[in-house]
Amino acid sequence: MDRDKAREEFEHIEREMETLGKSTASPEAEKRLQELSDQLQHLREELTGPLTPWQRVQVARHPQRPHLLDFIPLLFENFSEIHGDRSFSDDPAMVGGFAWFRGKPVMVIGQQKGHDTQQKLKRNFGMPKPEGYRKALRLMNLAAKFHRPIFTFVDTPGAYPGIDSEERGQAEAIARNLRDMVRLPVPIIVTITGEGGSGGALAIAVGDRILILENSVYSVISPEGCASITWRDATKATTAADALKMTADDLRALGIVDQIVPEPAGGAHVDHKKIAESIGEHLQRALAEVSGLPAQELLDQRYRKFRNMGQFFRTAAS
């Protein structure tokens, strides 16, 4: 069943039960109450039971899922956006600026999708071009210069694949971010809030702590892309989503993310405020863990973190 519909029904039943509860007791009312309570239980299971990986992909891409610009007023005070890469242009798919997090000055950077068609087009569906990644790095360098921690928020189907992207060096822009993020001498806390689409996500996701929302996904390729390559059939995306091990739980088991931020039943889109509170607590904890470290120790830990990530090999018997 569609989770949004289930949730609506859930709320409807809750309201009916509430009304019934206020009415005078009668055997009919009692019977109805029992019926409703069973239905509620059933719906609750449907709403909170484990989602399949493909269902999580759908939740991660949900049009009402909170995006960076929704999170900013809920998580930060006094945000000032900084535009442009000072080289080519300002990429609306990548947003960044300075703000205060629980009283501390921080740099905030992330991809921005849109909720409606107009916004989606303006934000290029959250797919940055090279100038977006270069803006992000410029802002990170600025933060490092003034010893401010960096929070990045990842939500992108991927870096934009287009003629102009290639002309301006999409690969070079991403590569440079990977290299330079690992040696920025300030704390970097990464949160994967929606879709972590391949290199276009990783290009702002090298940090000291990697958080992921419960229903977010992070993968080297979209399930549709994987399906059309391997099965030559994009409708096999469900199977591909399983095979790619792209859910929060899978990623933690693989040692790629540190913490999973739980989402409200039904997904983050159900309650923006609640998920933002939850993210805020996790961010504070993560930042506290790494804030006191001397810069060299911070960098050594970050190096080791990525150096030792994904070590799945063995020495073959010869």
Partner 1 sequence: MAWFRKEKEPLKAAEGERLRTEGLWIKCDGCRAIIWKKDLDANWSVCPKCGHHFRIDARTRLRLLLDDENYTTHDSDVETSDPLNFVDLKSYRDRIATAQRTTKLKDAVITAEGTIGGRGVFLCSMEYGFIGGSMGGVVGELITRAAERALDQRIPLIIVSASGGARMMEGTVSLMQMAKVSAALARMDTAGVPYISVLTDPTTGGVTASFSMLGDLNIAEPGALIGFAGPRVIEQTIRQKLPAGFQRSEFLLTHGMLDAVVPRTEMKAYIINALKFFLD
Q: Residue 175 Cβ, how far from partner 1 at the closest point, in Å?
A: 4
- The two tokens of residue 318 are 């010869």
Using CA atoms, how far apart are residues 29 and 9, in angstroms rounded to an integer? 19
Query: Is residue 172 a contact point for partner 1 (CB under 8 A)?
Result: yes
Q: How far lies 292's CA from each of 98, 107, 186, 298, 305, in Å?
A: 21, 18, 11, 9, 18
Using CA atoms, how far apart are residues 124 and 91, in angstroms rounded to an integer? 9
Q: For residues 65 and 269, is the Cβ–Cβ distance under 8 A?
A: yes
Using CA atoms, how far apart are residues 262 and 274, in angstroms rounded to an integer? 10
Query: Is residue 178 a contact point for partner 1 (CB under 8 A)?
Result: yes
Query: Is residue 94 a contact point for partner 1 (CB under 8 A)?
Result: no
Q: Which is nearer to partner 1, 198 or 278 (CB)?
A: 198
Q: Which residues contact 302 (CB under 8 A, 6 or more apart)?
A: 182, 188, 206, 207, 208
Query: Is residue 219 a contact point for partner 1 (CB under 8 A)?
Result: yes
Query: Is residue 318 a contact point for partner 1 (CB under 8 A)?
Result: yes
Query: Is residue 246 a contact point for partner 1 (CB under 8 A)?
Result: yes
Phi-psi label, residue 198: left if phi above 0, alpha if psi -120 to 50, beta otherwise: left
Query: Is residue 171 a contact point for partner 1 (CB under 8 A)?
Result: yes
Query: Is residue 183 a contact point for partner 1 (CB under 8 A)?
Result: yes
Binding residue for partner 1 (CB under 8 A) from 161, 273, 277, 297?
161
Using CA atoms, how far apart are residues 246 and 53, in angstroms rounded to an integer? 7
Site for partner 1 in 63-92 (CB under 8 A): none
Binding residue for partner 1 (CB under 8 A) from 75, 107, 136, 256?
256
Site for partner 1 in 137-156 (CB under 8 A): none
Which residues here bind partner 1, judged by CB under 8 A?
A: 159-163, 165-172, 174-176, 178-180, 182-183, 198-199, 202-203, 206, 218-221, 225-226, 229-231, 240, 243-246, 251, 254, 256, 302-303, 306-307, 309-316, 318
